[in-house]
Amino acid sequence: MTVHIGAEKGQIAETVLMPGDPYRARWAAENFLDGAELVNEVRGMLGFTGTWKGNRVTIHGSGMGMPSLSIYANELIRDYGAKTLIRIGSCGAMQEHVGLRDVVIAMSATSLSTPSSAIFREINFAPHADWSLLKNAVAAAEAMGAKTHVGGLYSSDVFYDERPDLTEQMTRHGILGVEMEAAELYNLALRHGARALAVCTVSDHLQTGEALPSAEREKSFGEMVEIALTAAFPG
């Protein structure tokens, strides 16, 4: 047990999928894993471990934002030995050619700050994905017929953003979408010798104002779970 995770050592798999929403973790475990068992419910942050095609997998919520994700990812990696961590989430599109329901696979994640900023200090570190996971995820997404984009995400500290000029600069520099977790997941994985990837579906569009209805979010979430599992276990 750790401060925020009630699982016993050994109850967490080396491969962990991390949706932001704990209920999404439960949905994914019920729909994709065999023999899924609840291994954490401290503070309502649900984690489940089961198998997918015979491979052990944990699906654990990250919460919203990098400070929350940092707590869970730190404990999963350092205390439970997680080696592969894949964020499955949503993002807001920042480019015209990126549409609702498209899949964005993050090669890198730009941020204003992360929980790691204090240690990087004067360094502008470039948090980036694990290449083998990235390659496998792109192959899986394309094989499933998903409209897939590979490039940069912007990991913002705020959902209600009062700085439209920042969004404009991100768009101008080719960033595909905005979310709130990927950069710190990449920082932590790189620091501790783990592998990380963020796969996001586009739930809303910053330029057009369109948003996916909630019923459709479930379907695109399922697609991401499959992409993430196939990326971790390409077979």
Which of residues 31 and 207 has its CB atom nearest to ligand HPA in the complex? Answer: 207
CB of 76 to ligand HPA, least distance (A): 22
CB of 138 to ligand HPA, least distance (A): 21
Active site includes 204?
Answer: yes
Which of residues 63 and 92 has its CB atom nearest to ligand HPA in the complex? Answer: 92
Which of residues 92 and 115 has its CB atom nearest to ligand HPA in the complex? Answer: 92
Output the DSSP codes for 46-79. -EEEEEETTEEEEEE---SSHHHHHHHHHHHHHT
- Distance from the Cα of residue 121 to its chain's centroid: 25
Cα 84 from Cα 68, distance rounded (Å): 18
Which residues, listed in sequence order, are joined to residue 200 by a DSSP beta bridge? Answer: 89, 104
User: Which residues, 6 or more positions from 35, have their beta carbon under 8 angstroms from its beta carbon?
Assistant: 50, 51
Cα 184 from Cα 200, distance rounded (Å): 15
Angle at 51 between CA 45 and CA 56, to 5 degrees: 80
CB of 88 to ligand HPA, least distance (A): 12
For residue 154 the two structure tokens come to 């912007």
Which of residues 77 and 103 has its CB atom nearest to ligand HPA in the complex? Answer: 103
Closest residue by Cα to residue 195 from 33, 49, 16, 61: 16
Q: What share of the chain is helix, strand, coil (3-state, %, to 5)?
A: 35, 30, 35
CB of 219 to ligand HPA, least distance (A): 16
CB of 74 to ligand HPA, least distance (A): 22
Which of residues 47 and 92 has its CB atom nearest to ligand HPA in the complex? Answer: 92
The residues binding ligand HPA (CB under 6 A) are 90-92, 156, 159, 178-180, 203-204
**Is the Cα dihedral 57, 61, 64, 70 positive or negative?**
negative
Cα 175 from Cα 37, distance rounded (Å): 38
Q: Which residue number has the CB closest to ligand HPA?
A: 92
Q: Annotated active-site positions, please?
A: 204
